Amino acid sequence: MFALVVRFDLTSDGADGFDRLVAETVPLILTRESGTLLYVTHIVEGAPLARIFYEVYADRAAFDAHEEQAHVKRFLAEREQYLSAPARVEFVVPGPAKGVPAGAR
C-alpha cells in the first residue's frame, strides 16, 4: 500500500474553481484507476479555503500510473491558479487502523 495526504490552501476567490475542477476529476479517477483504492477529498472545518486529500494506492506503481493519467495531469496543471501556496504533500505509512486490511499496512 502507498498513501499520501495533500493540503491545498486556496486563494479567497479560488474555492469555487478548485471545487469544480475536483468534481470533474474525481469521477475519472473512480472509473479509470483500479489501483487507486481511496481518493477522499475534504473541506477543512473552520478553514473554508483549505482542502485535504487522502489518497491510498495499491502500491507505488499504482500511484505512478495515477500521476500519468490525462485527467490527473490536467488537474495538476489547472489547480495552480486557485492556490495561495504550493500544495503540501505528506507521504504516510499506515500504522494501526480500522478498515485497512492487515496485509496492506
Select from 64, 81, 77, 69 the least CA-distant residue to 18: 81
Q: What pLDDT is attached to residue 95?
A: 85
For 46-85, the pLDDT digits (tens) are 999 999 999 999 999 999 999 999 999 999 999 999 999 9
Query: How does residue 98 score in pLDDT terms, banded at 50, 70 and 90?
Result: confident
Interval 23-32 mean pLDDT: 98
Residue ranges per domain, the chain? 2-93
CATH number belonging to the domain at 2-93, selected among 3.40.50.1110, 3.30.230.10, 3.30.70.100, 3.10.350.10: 3.30.70.100
Output Rg (C-alpha) for the chain, integer angstroms: 14
